Amino acid sequence: MKVFEIEGKTVDDATRKAMAELNITDIEKTRVEVIDQGKSGIFGFGVSRPAKIRVYYSDTTADVGDTTKEILLTILKKMGIEGSVKDLKEGENKVYIEMESPRSGLVIGKKGKTLEALQFLVNLMVNHRTKSDKKIILDIEQYRAKREKALRKLSRDIAMKVSKTGRPWTLEPMNPFERRLIHLTLQNDARVTTKSEGQGIYRKVKISPKQ
């Protein structure tokens, strides 16, 4: 949120000036506070005082979603992959984009590797260009929901196995979001405990029997 102050002959005049200055077309998207109503001299006599207003506005809300869409579609095109944006939701701190492509497998990659890389780069590019710090989440054909379901099932299956054999089991390396999901799924499981081990991109979740 940014603040802008301006003077005008009247409050209306100052508001008009502010809109022009800030390139804002919709006054509903801003909050205007009147600091001074101003006073006009009657028939040119007396002391006239300009009106003064303060405008609170956000310089990012309008174009982050559009910029994201433009950058994403350009990358896909240059990758030689057909694709389109099926859904775009923009919130205060987030932009969610769902893509559609006949080659969705290629966009997702092994274990979501390509989708992760795409999301990471698009975040950097959009934030660099718009100077916003909104988090961009990319999805394609409900991949994220499906992956979440698969990971929950996997963690429950492994927990069962660990409690039966009494031996710990280490899962493959996962990103922070996926590791967190495993911890959350098993946090109330009385049979096992979970712990992350290793460094950086090789961090893995280890599921051990509870002593």
Partner 1 sequence: MNYKDLVEYMVKSLVDHPDMVQIKEIEGEKSTILELKVTKEDIGKVIGKHGRIARAIRTIINASATKSGKRVVLEILD
* Residues at the site binding partner 1, with contacts judged by CB under 8 A: 71, 74-75, 78-81, 106-107, 109, 113-114, 116-118, 120-121, 124-125, 128-129, 200-201
Q: Which residues of 54-72 are buried (b: 16+ CB within 10 A; e: fewer)?
A: ebebeeeebebbebbbebb
91 vs 109, beta carbon nearer partner 1:
109
Half-sphere exposure of 56 (CA within 13 A, CB side): 6
Distance of closest approach, residue 99 Cβ to partner 1, in angstroms: 14
11 vs 75, beta carbon nearer partner 1:
75
Distance, in Å, from the CA atom of 16 to the CA atom of 14, rounded to the nearest integer, reads 5
126 vs 207, beta carbon nearer partner 1:
126
Distance of closest approach, residue 107 Cβ to partner 1, in angstroms: 7
Distance, in Å, from the CA atom of 58 to the CA atom of 55, rounded to the nearest integer, reads 10
Distance of closest approach, residue 133 Cβ to partner 1, in angstroms: 16
Distance of closest approach, residue 171 Cβ to partner 1, in angstroms: 21
143: CB partners within 8 A, 6+ apart: 104, 108, 112, 115
91 vs 198, beta carbon nearer partner 1:
198
